[in-house]
Structure 1
Amino acid sequence: MTRLRDREGGALTKVLATLLVLALLASAALFVYTRSQDPLALGVDASVGYNAVLADHGTPSDPLVKLEPNGQIYLATTVRNEGSLPITITGLGQPPADEQTPYVPVELHLGDGKTADPAGSTSGFEPTRLNPGTGIGVLVVFAANSKLICSVFTDTSEGSGTEIRSFTLKYTTYGIPDSQTLDVGHTLVAVARPTRTECEQALGG
């Protein structure tokens, strides 16, 4: 009787161990699959707006801005899940670690994907689930890069400027975190290279 119980116990242990190994393999496969995918895609259209500080931003077809204290640029577009699994967008990813990029994404809002004005979007952002083939409208706020190193700039603004055309989103797939940089494919706003003085003024220095 004791031997029978030992055999049954041993068989159960083997079954549980096998199930555990299979679960670990499945989790590992899901992790590898999700981290190798780029499921997010931008909509065809993107709208750009500016706050009052950047009212002087050139022509609508060829906008150009300077680094200004409290200057903000607004990008409205749609984001779709083109992958095969549901995802949850959790917020903005880390901006580029570039001490010479004047404006970087600082806020993410939900919106209609067309109105480039915070007044026309929701206040703030909450994690949003996207099933395959679905999308949402978002508004991305760009502001002065707090990590700018003003000493790399000169007093005559020498060198080429930068451009606003992309931002990074964080998302999860069945709890597995990842991020993806989304690029509209062309320059939305050109940003002139700031002088050292403009940089210091923008950062309150």
Structure 2
Amino acid sequence: MSIFALGLTLHVIGFLTVFPFLSAISFLFTVSGLILYFYGKTTMHSFLFPVSFLIFAIPLPLLLLGKVAHVLQAIAARCSATIIELLGIPVTRVGAAIHLEDAIFIVALPCSGMHSLISLLALASIFIYILRCPWYKKAVLLSAAIPIAISANVLRVTLLLLIADAYGADTAMEFFHTLFSPLLFITAFLFLILVSIVIGCTVTAGGGGPSHGDW
């Protein structure tokens, strides 16, 4: 019951300090403690991934979320502006604002790629769970989801800038802005699958969890 008690303690601390993130995290420990107490370690091992996956349902603290989003925002603006400049298109970047000859784009926080990063990590976790390969390869694959998601967002911003330069800002924002988000997310996931093939991971027969010795 120690894990269950830890969960309750975290919840109380989170409630008293008005820190909802801590209370939300406590739910994982509370559920794990109850499963261990009533059903034992074998059942808990089977439920380890489903319970752990609930972490993606927990919103990050606003302070941390803001800092990470600002970093991603800066990366997207800086890298896309650099690529555009290398392609010979006149461009000036001031912070998150990218100035073309006839348009100004601002890489706002919602366009930083934060949502895509979290979504790809969640999808990658499910995909990795059904793979058959050593735990260290799964760790590499999960880690690879981060630069893949960031690169996909940089590519999205770059393509929008190219379209805006060629056909105008209205064309880029009215149609392609909405189109590129799901399209490049799918592309990022396909690239993640490609990486899994390159490092020698295969899907577990029957779509179950990890085999013996796997993570």
TM-score past 0.5 threshold: no
- Greater C-alpha Rg: 1
Superposition TM-score, scaled by structure 2 size = 0.25
Q: Of the two structures, which has the highest relative contact order with CA contacts closer than 8 Å and spacing of 6 or more?
A: 1
